[in-house]
Structure 1
Amino acid sequence: MKHRSFRFLWMGQAIADCGDIFYIVGLIAILYGQSNSPFVLALVPFVNMMGRFGSGFLSPLLINRFSLKRLLVTSQALKTIVLWLLASYASGATSVTALLSFVFAIAFLDGWAAPASHAMLPRLVPKEELVKANSFFSIVSETVNLGAWAVGGGIVALTTGPFAILLTGTLYLFAIALLAGISDPVKFTLPKRETKAVSELTAGWRLIWKHPLYRTLHILIALEALANVVWIASILYVFVTEVLAKNEAWWGYINTAFFIGMLTGGILCARFASLIESSLQQAILVSSFGISLLTALFGMTAWPWFALVLVGCTGVFQQWKGISIDTCLQKAATAEELPAIYAVQQTIVSILFAAGSLAFGAIAEWAGARFVYMLAAALLALSALCAWRYRRHLQTN
């Protein structure tokens, strides 16, 4: 954990993530002030996910032509330019369509960085420290998520939305400097023979489908991505008001409890890294069944305080499962395979989350919020059963 390049990676990523939240908070303030429409605000995460989907789908073309470090730095540099253009545009008369176009462009550029960052991590630490490194990365990410929204809201309240966006561009400069300091131990080489673009785009998909471990892990990831839609603001808000019969403040409490659970899960995984490292298969199985049960109980409860406890525990189990899956994948895949695998993973998660947001929103309106959480619990139970059915594939040795 004392590796210099690893420090540059997590620090650069943390600053970039913090800037991403400031920019979204500033943009939401601008959009709401202009449109006064909750529907327009709901389009922000949808457009963001579609941008990531497009980038994830096309990123194999870049991964085969440029080093991971170059992709990280270039992505952040281009995002900085777009952010400054957005800040300049947002300071005057604005169009909702134009603002959402900026969201798509930034998400598209960020989509290069996500697979590169995930694939870079196992190159910078020894294999026996992967659980601890993944746990630490998650702790930093959840700490940023927990604090940056409140700080971003305070910045917008004291200044303006365009100022928050301009501040993000400044933070991105620090992130660029840190990411540029990474030393990648795996030397990048261009493919010796030219391949068709279609073959490059489908290589990661074919790799995942042919390898039993990769295929099983991504079935679990896909089902969980779809089920996790129930935690978006629009559905959770309806559950709080209709089922728990509480005001908007409780929506914030539940979000905070979830992030605290995720943070606690990361700390526990780091504390018991050696135990998890030696039992990744069992960790995936137990956490999969645990998340399904907790989500079902959350959907059935009408007690607000019990709901807070359940959602906090859900965060712990989700962190446990996510770290175990990441470590399992990183231990099994080669340095050359990981970027393509993470690109496919981002594509799967983005499209399912975007489509699920619309589908689950419609279902919640038709059948109620409680039904949506029970449906999510069923999807998570299916994920757990798949993990049990194909548990022999969840072996890295």
Structure 2
Amino acid sequence: MKGHSKNFKNLFYSQLFANTGDILYIVGLISYIYMVTQSATSSALIPVIITIGIFISGFISPYIYQFVTKKNVLIIFQSSKTIIMLLIVLLILNSNQILSIYILIFLNSFFDGFTNPVKNSMIPLIEKENMIAPSNAKMNTMNNTIQVGGWAIGGILLAYIGYMNVIIFTICLYIISVIFILKLTKIKEIEEERNSMLNSFKKMIKINISNKLSLFFNLSTFIESFAHSVWIAAILLVYIQSFLNLNVVWFGFINSLFFSGMIISGILVNFKYDIFERKSSFIIIFLPIIISLLNASFSMHKFIIIALICSFLYGLLDETRTIILNSKLQKDLKSENITQTYIFNNMVYSFSFSLSTLIISYIIDHSSVIYAFIIAGLSYLLVCLLGISFKKNLV
């Protein structure tokens, strides 16, 4: 954390505890709901509800941000998430009302939809320009590390202390997160013109369409979701079992190497960000060609070693591009437009990822899993072509 501002450190640690809590409570609730219902479908509804909550919040958040500072957004909604967790504990103790728990899960993700855009748009307000890329690298590395370790830690905690104590532990993590948010100080923000809820939403859409960099960011997010959806557990398991004809244990290795690549990417960009920034336009526009070939290669062979190597490289290169693209957004966009861009991007990704997952799953059910990876490869080629058409805005 050398060279970073105190505000960034406080933001970083607040999100470290909040994100860890987000995974642990899902682990605990999946276990609880399955125990009560004995239904895998009931448990699988949790990520669907979370996606819906984040998507819907995008319609309201532009209006809310007009009246509340970024720091207060984090305080209010992270505190609200803590209260939601307390209500979930009370519901579990007093009844088995699964519908009520689903409603609370929706509210928790709905509040996340307010905090997520702020976490990204805050970085240029609290860091010097030359520290923006390292800040994004650290944030992404932390998020990916939690994604890798959170589920494993959640499983261990679930086995030793039970779902109830896992949820109580989540409450403790949320409280610590709020404490770090309260330590944020002297954040300069531009006061925005206040509009009605409908007009504030229209303004957000207009900003994202009229600004070429925002438009590219959201269009590429939509297209890339068709590649990202291929990497969900259900599709990878089909690939391992039906295409490679291997034991499901290899699913864990492919997943681990994918996330390892993402983590190493964050570390590399953090320490060598000046080199990566000098090549930012090449990374954003042309790196998708290599990523496309990596995805398509999964349909061209049946060698697990090649699949493992490609999985690692995919995680490494895709994450590098993500960090550099986000850093460029935060440097080049006006301060008042950054949050609006991330709000819309949250909505685009939650909608397109759900849509692409359904489409890819349908294709696999009615043909072969290899078509999923061909689509993923074509998606990144399309992103490259999109980048070429927006080249003057990305240089």
Shift of 1:27: 1.0
User: For residues 92 and 247 of structure 1, do their structure 2 counterparts lie closer, same or farther at Cα, with a shift above 3 Å needed?
Assistant: farther
Equivalent in the alignment of 2:117:
115
DSSP-derived class of the 1:305 partner? helix
What SS does the corresponding residue of 2:246 show, helix, strand or coil? coil
Structure 2 CA distance for partners of 1:345 and 1:171, relative to 1, 3 Å: same
Range with bigger deviation, 244-253 or 156-165: 244-253
CA contact (8 A) 1:49 1:353 kept: no
- Matched-pair contact (CA < 8 Å) for 2:226–2:375: no
Which residue does the alignment assign to 1:207? 207
Note the alpha carbon deviations across 1:114-161, whole angstroms, 9 max, x for none. 001111111111112211111111111112222121111000011211
Structure 1, unpaired ranges of 5+: none
Partner secondary structure for residue 195 of structure 2: coil
Rate the CA distance shift 1:95–1:358 in 2: closer, same or farther, 3 A: farther
Greater shift in the superposed pair: 67-76 or 161-170: 161-170
In structure 2, the partner of 1:83 is 85
In the alignment, residue 380 of structure 2 is paired with which amino acid? L
Which residue pairs with 2:8 in the alignment?
6
Partner AA of 2:282 in structure 1: Q
Contact 2:134 2:269 (C-alpha < 8 Å) held by counterparts: yes
Structure 2: 5+ residue runs without aligned partners? none
Counterpart code for 2:43: L
Relative distance call for 1:174 and 1:34 in structure 2 (3 A) is: same
CA contact (8 A) 2:63 2:196 kept: no
2:243 aligns with 243
Shift of 1:69: 0.4
Percentage identity across paired residues of the two chains: 25
Residues 123, 184 of structure 1: 8 Å contact kept = no
Cα displacement string for residues 260-307 of structure 1 (whole angstroms, at most 9, x for unaligned residues): 010011111112200122221111123221221111112333212221
Which residue of the other structure, out of 38, 41, 54, is the alignment partner of 1:39? 41
**1:42 Cα deviation from its structure 2 partner:** 2.7
Match in the other structure for 1:166: 168
Residues 346-361 of structure 1 aligned to structure 2 (within 5 Å): 346-361=346-361
The answer as to 2:74 corresponding to 1:72 is yes
Q: Is the 8 A contact 1:50 1:354 kept in 2?
A: no
Asked if 2 retains the 8 angstrom alpha-carbon contact of 1:88 and 1:162, the reply is no
CA shift, 1:92, in A, is 4.9
3-state secondary structure, aligned to 1:159: helix
SS at match of 1:83: helix
Distance in 2 separating the partners of 1:36 and 1:234: 20
Aligned partners of 1:214 and 1:258: how far apart in 2? 27
Contact 1:288 1:384 in 2 (8 A): yes
Cα distance in structure 1, aligned partners of 2:59 and 2:363: 28
Q: How far off is 1:46 after superposition?
A: 1.5
Using the alignment, how far apart are the partners of 1:168 and 1:261 within structure 2?
A: 28
Describe the shift of the 1:304–1:34 C-alpha distance in structure 2 as closer, same or farther (beyond 3 A): farther
Work out whether residues 216 and 394 of structure 1, in 8 Å CA contact, stay in contact via their aligned partners in 2: no
Partner of 1:300: 300
- The answer (yes or no) to whether the contact 1:63–1:340 under 8 Å persists in 2 is no
Secondary structure of the structure 2 residue equivalent to 1:2: coil
The whole-number CA distance in structure 2 between the counterparts of 1:195 and 1:73 is 23
Instruction: Tell me how far 1:350 sits from its aligned partner.
Output: 0.8
* Cα distance in structure 2, aligned partners of 1:129 and 1:230: 33
Which moved further from structure 2: 26-35 or 126-135? 26-35
Q: Distance in 1 between matches of 2:191 and 2:147?
A: 36
Tell me what 2:224 maps to. Answer: 224
Deviations along 1:353-381, one digit per CA (max 9) or x if unpaired, are 12222222222211222211211221121
Contact 2:63 2:195 in 1 (8 A): no
Other-structure match for 1:124: 126
Q: Supply the distance in 1 between the matched residues of 2:253 and 2:105 (Cα, whole angstroms).
A: 28
Report the 3-state secondary structure (helix = DSSP H, G, I; strand = E; otherwise coil) of the residue aligned with 2:270. Answer: helix
TM-score by length of 2: 0.95
Alpha-carbon spacing, 1:40–1:254, altered in 2? closer, same or farther (3 Å): farther
Q: Does 1:140 align with 2:153?
A: no
Give me the whole-angstrom Cα distance separating, in 2, the residues matched to 1:43 and 1:256. Answer: 25
8 Å Cα contact 2:141-2:266 kept in structure 1: yes
Match of 1:10, as an amino acid? Answer: F
CA deviation after TM superposition for structure 1 residue 184, in Å: 4.3
Q: CA RMSD in A?
A: 1.6
Aligned to 1:287: 287
- Partner Cα separation in structure 2 for residue 380 and residue 25 of structure 1: 32
Q: Give the match's secondary structure for 2:244.
A: coil
2:38 & 2:359 partners in 1: Cα distance?
Answer: 24
1:157-211 deviation digits (Å, cap 9, x = unpaired): 11211221111011100000001111243145363xx423222012122112112
Indicate conservation of the 8 Å contact 2:192/2:336, yes or no: no
Question: Residue 362 and residue 111 in structure 1: after superposition, are their counterparts in 2 closer, same or farther (change >3 A)?
Answer: same
Which 10-residue stretch deviates more, 157-166 or 255-264?
157-166
Q: 1:279 to 1:24 in 2, by over 3 A?
A: same
Q: Distance in 2 between matches of 1:90 and 1:214?
A: 43
Equivalent residue number for residue 261 of structure 2: 261
